[in-house]
Amino acid sequence: MFGGKIGAPELILLLVVIILLFGAKKLPDMARSLGKSARILKSEAKAMKSENKDTTTAASAPPQEETPAPRTIQAAPGDVTSSRPVTEPTDATKR
């Protein structure tokens, strides 16, 4: 009976039914509320991921003093002959 395909006439009929049920005045508010809910959900999911990442790295590795590797500034991409190491000032407030 139904082919399983939703075409333009079906979508228009569905849109008309939604407008009749909820009213044209409430639809923008509902869409705005849905957008806010989606943003909140996204930010909470991101916070949970970063919190989980922080706890797993803190639990797996004991705190140690980090010695940063010396950085190298290159004159041009791929130009290894003119590169030189850079000494950066250390931050005395971390100790």
Q: Is residue 32 part of a domain?
A: yes
The residues facing 86 across adjacent strands are 71
> In the predicted model, is pLDDT for residue 84 greater than 70?
no
Q: Is residue 81 part of a domain?
A: no
> In the predicted model, is pLDDT for residue 38 greater than 90?
yes
Q: Is residue 21 part of a domain?
A: yes
Q: Residues 51-77: pLDDT tens digits?
A: 888 777 665 655 566 666 666 665 666
Host domain of residue 21: 8-58
Q: Is residue 24 part of a domain?
A: yes
Domain count, the chain: 1
Q: Is residue 53 part of a domain?
A: yes
pLDDT score for 56: 72
pLDDT score for 51: 85
Measured distance CA(19)–CA(1) in Å, rounded: 27
Q: Is residue 47 part of a domain?
A: yes
Q: Is residue 70 part of a domain?
A: no
